[in-house]
């Protein structure tokens, strides 16, 4: 345990410290910039960020250990045992159930749901998103059983999404695509990947490697579809207007995010965040823990294996509590400070370019800081047989995330509907899926979950909500305020989840072209100039 913890602790340091360092450096380097309300370079907001370093690192390390020992292990057990027993119908049903339960425990989804509800997380949104994940995890398992290419499922699924969008409320689209991005997070991805790999290894046959990827991408599609249907229902019953009024009320009364105006409030914020995290994480993890208790009557895991899973749940719980406490108390006030300051200077062209530059820098660094990027880079390097190097993946994903930030800054400033960004990007992604080998399609879809991690939900989302809120003009009605926040404050997570798909597919296409060129060069080097000529040998004359 000690050695394993040190490894995870080191990984967590590499994930958290660069982001904190860049944020702090920008605070001191940019002239006239300040995170603090009084304009000081150092104050309670920056203090909360520095305090959050320890719980964020400890939480990330403990959660990484716990998720591997508990959530991922349960997915592996379920997939292996049911597949080997040929209980296909039961496997699909259990996959659906576990997809729902794992998503209920997803903290990033709770962070999003908490933004649109007047009192705590919007559990209706969480349940609907979870049902979408469950259904499409079952669809993903059926895809492996039927051995059908992933690109056709994606084309049909997103075709249905945009068909429904023609009848839905456009103001709610940003939340729809954000929901799709946050559901594939720290809890769901380890479970879904473990379940998918175990099933594909048994049922995938000669395409087992190709079938091992793409599960989380289909689950994200399921969330987008289910929340789009939710959009239609809300539109018909007037629910979207209620959400807009809730958003306006939270912004005008300053309760959208924790406010840090003095050092005396720092302790209060951490205490409140800690107590909320204790309760919310317990509620979230309870369903999947109860499932394992019931399932273990048939699975009969005992001894050290059972103890390892129990300890894994404990590590996961403590890690998530610490992580969410640090993120809510540390990142969110800082993100709000960035958003408020840039909104107050958005009339000057120079500050727009500075906003774009800071967005690119933070977007690039945040992607490199995600621990899952290293795993993804290793996978791509292996399947491409070294044609695509790990540094190329890091740079591609970093650039993709940075470009997503740029798109959203432009969209928010000019009040452009998110559908004009996501529709062309998804069309491009699906078009590329027909040009690259199947395995790159699966890896690319899974890469969407890599981009929408900690920084997406706990930094960039509050940054753009604060930026939009600070640009509200006097005389706007509550409904107009809520509409502006819903359209422009949300949406960053959705755009960030699309760009890595295009990035990985692009490097996959590059690998395909590079391999074809290398093959032609190798072939030409062993062929003689006259090898293509037809040589007629003389026949023996008949005796």
* Count of all residues that appear for the chain in the document: 543
Helix (H, G, I), strand (E, B) or coil at 105: coil
Query: Tell me: the pLDDT tens digits for 418-469?
Result: 999 999 999 999 999 898 888 788 888 877 766 676 677 778 888 899 888 8
Burial, 435: exposed, middle or buried (Cβ in 10 Å; 0-12, 13-18, 19+)? Answer: middle
- Give the pLDDT confidence of 460-500 residue by residue, as tens digits: 888 899 888 888 877 788 888 989 999 999 999 899 889 88
- Is pLDDT above 60 for 347? no
Query: Would you say 187 and 105 are in contact if contact means Cβ atoms under 8 Å apart?
Result: yes
CB-side exposure of 411: number of CA atoms within 13 Å? Answer: 26
What mean pLDDT is predicted for residues 277-290?
Answer: 82
Whole-angstrom Cα distance, residue 84 to residue 55?
41
Stated pTM of the model: 0.84
| Cα of 134 vs its chain's centroid, Å | 17
Tokens of 296: 């273990």
Buried b (16+ CB within 10 A) or exposed e, 366-401: bbbbbbbbbebbebbbebbeebbeeebbbbbbbbbb
Residue for token pair 């720092």: 266
Higher-pLDDT residue of 328, 157: 157
Residue 199 near residue 91, CB atoms below 8 Å: yes
Residues 6+ apart with CB under 8 A from 283: none
> What b-and-e string marks burial along 503-526, b requiring 16 or more CB atoms within 10 Å of the CB?
bbbbbbebbbeeeeeeeeeeeeee
């Amino acid at each position: 345990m000690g050695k394993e913890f040190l490894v995870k602790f080191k990984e967590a340091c590499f994930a958290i410290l660069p982001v904190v360092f860049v944020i702090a450096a920008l605070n001191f380097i940019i002239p006239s910039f300040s995170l603090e309300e009084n304009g000081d370079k150092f104050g309670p907001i920056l203090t909360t960020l520095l305090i959050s370093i320890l719980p964020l690192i400890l939480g990330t390390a403990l959660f990484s250990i716990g998720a591997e020992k508990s959530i991922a292990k349960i997915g592996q057990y379920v997939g292996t045992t049911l597949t080997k027993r040929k209980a296909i119908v039961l496997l699909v049903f259990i996959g659906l159930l576990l997809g729902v339960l794992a998503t209920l425990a997803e903290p990033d989804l709770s962070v999003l749901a908490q933004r649109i509800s007047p009192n705590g997380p919007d559990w209706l949104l969480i349940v609907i998103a979870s049902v979408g994940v469950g259904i499409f995890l079952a669809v993903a398992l059926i895809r492996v059983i039927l051995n059908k290419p992933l690109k056709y499922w994606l084309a049909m699924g997103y075709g249905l999404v945009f068909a429904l969008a023609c009848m839905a409320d456009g103001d709610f689209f940003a939340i729809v695509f954000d929901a799709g991005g946050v559901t594939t997070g720290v809890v769901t991805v380890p479970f879904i990947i473990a379940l998918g790999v175990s099933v594909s290894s048994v049922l995938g046959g000669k395409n087992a490697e190709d079938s091992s990827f793409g599960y989380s991408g289909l689950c994200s599609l399921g969330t987008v579809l289910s929340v789009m249907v939710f959009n239609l229902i809300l539109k018909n019953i007037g629910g979207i207007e209620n959400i807009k009024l809730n958003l306006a009320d939270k912004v005008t009364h300053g309760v959208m995010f924790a406010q840090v105006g003095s050092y005396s409030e720092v302790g209060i914020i951490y205490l409140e965040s800690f107590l909320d995290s204790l309760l919310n994480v317990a509620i979230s993890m309870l369903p999947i823990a109860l499932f394992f208790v019931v399932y273990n009557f048939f699975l009969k895991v005992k001894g050290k294996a059972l103890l390892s899973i129990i300890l894994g749940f404990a590590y996961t719980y403590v890690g998530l509590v610490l992580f969410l406490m640090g993120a809510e108390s540390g990142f969110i006030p800082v993100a709000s400070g960035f958003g408020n300051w840039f909104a107050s200077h958005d009339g000057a062209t120079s500050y727009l370019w500075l906003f774009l530059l800071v967005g690119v820098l933070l977007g690039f660094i945040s992607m490199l800081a995600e621990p899952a990027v290293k795993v993804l880079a290793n996978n791509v390097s292996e399947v491409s047989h070294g044609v695509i190097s790990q540094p190329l993946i890091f740079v591609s994903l970093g650039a993709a995330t940075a470009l997503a930030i740029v798109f959203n800054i432009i969209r928010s400033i000019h009040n452009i509907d998110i559908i004009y960004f996501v529709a062309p990007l998804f069309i491009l992604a699906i078009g590329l899926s027909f040009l690259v080998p199947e395995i790159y399609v699966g890896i690319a879809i899974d890469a969407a979950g890599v981009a929408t991690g900690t920084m997406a939900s706990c930094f960039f989302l509050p940054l753009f909500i604060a930026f939009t809120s600070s640009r509200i003009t006097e005389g706007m009605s509550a409904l107009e305020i809520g509409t502006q926040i819903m359209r422009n404050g949300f949406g960053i997570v959705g755009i960030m989840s699309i760009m890595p798909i295009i990035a990985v597919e692009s490097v996959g296409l590059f690998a395909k072209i590079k391999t074809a060129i290398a093959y032609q060069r190798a072939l030409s080097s062993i062929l003689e100039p006259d090898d293509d000529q037809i040589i007629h040998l003389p026949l023996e004359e008949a005796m």
